[in-house]
Amino acid sequence: MAEYANIIVDISQEKLDKTFQYRIPKRLEKSIVVGMQVQVPFGNRRITGYVVELTDKPEYDEEKIKEILQIVRSSIPIESHLIALAGWMRRNYGGTMNHALKTVIPIKEKKRAVEHKKVCLCVHPMEAKNELAECVRKHSTARAKLLEALLREGELEWELITGKLGVSSAVIRALEEKGVVRILRETEYRNPVGHLSKGEYRQKLNEEQTLVAQTVKAEYDAGIRQTYLLWGVTGSGKTEVYMELIAHVTEQGKQAIVLIPEIALTYQTVMRFYNRFGNRVSILNSRMTAGERYDQFLRAKKGEIDIMIGPRSALFTPFLNLGLIIIDEEHETSYKSENVPRYHARETAIERARMMGASVILGSATPSVASFYKAKSGAYRLLELTQRVKEKPLPTCEIVDLREELRHGNRSILSARLAELIEDRLKKRQQIMLFLNRRGLSGFVSCRACGHVLKCPHCDVSLSQHTGGRMVCHYCGYEQPEPKTCPSCGSRYISGFKAGTQKIEQVVKQRFPQARVLRMDLDTTRSREGHEHILSAFANQEADILIGTQMIVKGHDFPQVTLVGVLAADLSLHVGDYQAPERTFQLLTQAAGRAGRGELPGQVVIQTYDPTHYSIVDASRQDYDGFYKKELEYRKLMLYPPIWNLLLILCASEKEEAAMQGAEKLAEKLDSFADGAAAERIFRIGPADATVAKVNDIYKKVIYLKAEHYQTLVLIKDKAEQFIRENKDYKNVTVWFDFNPINGA
Ligand code: ADP
Ligand code: ZN
Ligand code: ZN
């Protein structure tokens, strides 16, 4: 029996980021395990902490070591491997151990077990159909949606209805009162859709799919564990391959985690997994309460399920016998956490898999440049699916040069060609999507006559507009005044690029008064159900045109859409971030993939001031290889990731002076840390204002470091953390780290 426990106390402060030792009282000797949450005296308070290690070796004067007060009854012991993973995250992404522990234990406190409910029809299906028709007539979309699903499925889990279906509990209760549905209550944990028979909808894999599945299975059975990159065009049947591999490992008593970006975690996707695996599957999503999430984690721990599907945080499902982690749409930026520790789910999954002897499958139609680079260099094994299962041709794609439009006197955001095609589709009663690929803040300035964009001469990223007519680089702080005429062609049509979805809606309505228009952006989706509401209205053909930001291009199938218009591809191309071409290529490829999903062929129009940019040209040709080669050349030239590694250090303070001084002092120090850390060359860029230099009265300054090796940056981070801890100038300055940042700062 160990005498002492090393404990991380539950206070996220740099200064307390170490373990504290406590004595284990006799009465708790048998029950204390690593991972447990306990209460301890701290100063003159009682606080909670996690046991991270048990030992017989006192680290202080034995007399002075205090006793653990009690075990926090509601705590669940987290597995020691999750603590090890937290340790790895802390080291590789910065922040405190407490931050890291909180990330790997998303639900800390045991909530009262929620009552599980399901809903079923309690009238004859004919009667339900009449009721459904009535609801459709009255435009009661939520009621209609629920009835439709119940007619199809018989009964549904309450959480599935209020979560994925997006139907509120008030709607269910109203239908119960009418005597149309019944709510069944159960108190024990149960599977979300237990009535579905397992294996019902299994597809026979085609040749390409079989080859991929066989390769992974054979290696798995031979004990080979590694990371695979499954590169397969949309609709090539990746999900079927995932399910085949999950079946293979679960048959051997292992478990699997499937990460899917929340926005693509649709009811249909979830249903496909349920249909195949029945009650062995569970899902996590951000709409669940802490208690509901806790339930799912508990089910995983108890071995009631062996497949967990969910966004980033599902990675920490406490499975003990993990065999496989799948990351679908691996290029998605939502896999990078925006909170400390700013971990990337892809790298963290690979580390968790390594610790537990599991394999990882990364899947995408447009792999991230970072992953493709690793696949090419042999760190990952590349697998390909080159054909769509249903042999549907890819849509045709044309690029419209907006500079030409201006030359012909058209100053509207709709080019003549796009307007003509919209007119045509409206006549044919087919649907149209207009896409504004705005991402983050696009504060760039460009010439509408020649397309010239103001860029930083040092970093080759777009300069951003600031108050007082200044143009600033957010990597290095380079600054120049905003020009009145184009430095390239002399035109006066040089200005910031401003076009919002609302403005476009106005223009479209004016031009096509007969069209029924829906708009989807942050404003129209603020409510919990706004998002699903608009999408289902469009799917039910209650509108002809859907205008929106990236939300509209991900993972939704609208078979009646035959025209997709990208209004200004430049919006994502000039965001002042080295990854802008990569994002643009991905967004355009995805947007194009929205056209022609049904029986009718699709057409795509990409409007731009930069019609020869490789990210736009290659996206219009769906030429990933071509894009990748050019993009890698650019990264090599500029030493951007994945060629080198980038560390962003953010200094924030309520006082601008303090933030700037903190950043400057640290920058100076960094150079000496770098000298001591490695013999290799390190570049420092900045300090400069962050992209959003002031948020909620907090000023933010950034420093970038570039080094060839990631671990060199980790060493510098460690020294920087120590310096900050020991220096009282940082009392009012918060400093955090972001390795290979995804969204800039
Ligand atoms: P991806 O994940 O690559 O986009 P999916 O797995 O979703 O592709 O497959 C696209 C569509 O093709 C789905 O409707 C799926 O059910 C169907 N499908 C996939 N594989 C097969 C197959 N071998 N036979 C018949 N249909 C298939
Ligand atoms: Zn110009
Ligand atoms: Zn610069």
The DSSP secondary structure of 680-726, one letter per residue, reads S-EEEEEEEEEEEEEETTEEEEEEEEEES-HHHHHHHHHHHHHHHHH
Cα dihedral sign, 231-235-239-242: negative
Any ligand 1 atom below 6 A from CB of 269: no
Cβ pair 445, 453 in contact under 8 A: yes
Any ligand 1 atom below 6 A from CB of 275: no
Edge to edge, what strands does the sheet with 517-520 contain? Answer: 396-401, 603-608, 561-566, 431-435, 545-548, 517-520
Residue owning the nearest CA to atom 5 of ligand 1? 237
Residue partners of 553: CB distance under 8 A and separation at least 6: 433, 435, 587, 590, 591, 593, 594
Residue owning the nearest CA to atom 4 of ligand 1? 235
Any ligand 1 atom below 6 A from CB of 590: no
How far does residue 609's CA lie from ligand 2's centre (Å)? 10
CA distance 414 to 419: 6
Q: Which pair of tokens denotes residue 57?
A: 């070796």
- List helix spans (H) across 96-237: 97-104, 125-137, 141-153, 158-162, 169-177, 207-221
- List helix spans (H) across 416-479: 416-428
Shortest CA distance to 343 belongs to which of 99, 580, 582, 583? 99
Kindly write down the DSSP assignment for every residue of 36-54, as one continuous string: -EEEEEETTEEEEEEEEEE
Cβ pair 575, 462 in contact under 8 A: yes
Q: Which atom of ligand 1 is nearest to the CA of 389?
A: 12
Residue owning the nearest CA to atom 20 of ligand 1? 237
Q: Which atom of ligand 1 is nearest to the CA of 204?
A: 23
How far does residue 212's CA lie from ligand 1's centre (Å)? 14
Eight-state DSSP code of residue 466: E
Q: Which atom of ligand 1 is nearest to the CA of 236?
A: 3
How far does residue 489's CA lie from ligand 2's centre (Å)? 4
How far does residue 407's CA lie from ligand 2's centre (Å)? 12
Q: Which atom of ligand 1 is nearest to the CA of 234?
A: 4
**Interaxial angle between packed helices 580-592 and 624-638, expressed in degrees from 0 to 180 and rounded to the nearest 10:** 170
Any ligand 1 atom below 6 A from CB of 237: yes
Any ligand 1 atom below 6 A from CB of 364: no
Cβ pair 363, 380 in contact under 8 A: no
How far does residue 163's CA lie from ligand 1's centre (Å)? 25
Helix (H, G, I), strand (E, B) or coil at 119: strand
pTM, entire model: 0.81
Cα separations in angstroms, 347 against 83, 85, 643, 714: 17, 11, 16, 15
Any ligand 1 atom below 6 A from CB of 244: no
Which bound ligand lies closest to the C-alpha atom of 578?
A: 3
CA–centroid distance for 251 within its chain: 30
Q: Which pair of tokens denotes residue 442?
A: 């696009």
Which bound ligand lies closest to the C-alpha atom of 271?
A: 1
How far does residue 195's CA lie from ligand 1's centre (Å)? 24
Cβ pair 680, 708 in contact under 8 A: yes
**Interaxial angle between packed helices 141-153 and 169-177, expressed in degrees from 0 to 180 and rounded to the nearest 10:** 70
Beta partners for residue 606, in sequence order:
399, 566
Residue owning the nearest CA to atom 18 of ligand 1? 237
Residue owning the nearest CA to atom 19 of ligand 1? 237
End-to-end CA distance of the chain: 49
CA distance 348 to 330: 13
Which bound ligand lies closest to the C-alpha atom of 363?
A: 1
Per-residue model confidence (pLDDT) at position 442: 57
Per-residue model confidence (pLDDT) at position 738: 95
Any ligand 1 atom below 6 A from CB of 521: no
How far does residue 249's CA lie from ligand 1's centre (Å)? 21
Cβ pair 677, 719 in contact under 8 A: yes
How far does residue 574's CA lie from ligand 3's centre (Å)? 14
CA distance 139 to 533: 12
Which residue of 214, 233, 239, 260 sits with most ligand 1 atoms within 8 Å of its CB, as the best mutation to test the pocket? 239
Amino acid at 25: P
- List helix spans (H) across 123-168: 125-137, 141-153, 158-162
Any ligand 1 atom below 6 A from CB of 593: no
Per-residue model confidence (pLDDT) at position 196: 45
How far does residue 486's CA lie from ligand 2's centre (Å)? 5
Amino acid at 197: S
Which residue of 200, 202, 203, 383 sits with most ligand 1 atoms within 8 Å of its CB, as the best mutation to test the pocket? 203
How far does residue 205's CA lie from ligand 1's centre (Å)? 9
CA distance 219 to 361: 13
Cβ pair 6, 53 in contact under 8 A: yes
Any ligand 1 atom below 6 A from CB of 206: yes
Any ligand 1 atom below 6 A from CB of 205: yes
How far does residue 617's CA lie from ligand 2's centre (Å)? 21
Any ligand 1 atom below 6 A from CB of 233: no
Cβ pair 360, 327 in contact under 8 A: yes
Q: Which atom of ligand 1 is nearest to the CA of 328?
A: 2
Which bound ligand lies closest to the C-alpha atom of 456?
A: 3
Residue owning the nearest CA to atom 10 of ligand 1? 235
Any ligand 1 atom below 6 A from CB of 555: no
List phi, psi (to 5°) of 724. Answer: -70, -40
- H helix or E strand, kind and range, residue 656: helix 656-677
How far does residue 406's CA lie from ligand 2's centre (Å)? 12
Low-confidence ranges of the chain (pLDDT < 70): 12-17, 73-79, 106-116, 185-201, 391, 439-442, 498-499, 526-530, 554-556, 675-679, 693, 695-696, 743-745
Q: Which pair of tokens denotes residue 93?
A: 């992404």
Any ligand 1 atom below 6 A from CB of 235: yes
Q: Which atom of ligand 1 is nearest to the CA of 232?
A: 3
How far does residue 119's CA lie from ligand 1's centre (Å)? 30
Residue partners of 389: CB distance under 8 A and separation at least 6: 206, 235, 236, 237
Taking only the tens place, the pLDDT of each residue in 683-717 is: 999 898 887 767 667 888 999 999 999 999 999 99
Any ligand 1 atom below 6 A from CB of 239: yes
Any ligand 1 atom below 6 A from CB of 234: yes
Helix (H, G, I), strand (E, B) or coil at 93: helix
Shortest CA distance to 684 belongs to which of 652, 648, 641, 658? 648
Any ligand 1 atom below 6 A from CB of 264: no
Any ligand 1 atom below 6 A from CB of 687: no
Q: Which atom of ligand 1 is nearest to the CA of 272?
A: 16
Q: Which atom of ligand 1 is nearest to the CA of 241?
A: 6
CA distance 716 to 262: 34
CA distance 381 to 358: 15
How far does residue 203's CA lie from ligand 1's centre (Å)? 8
CA distance 602 to 71: 62
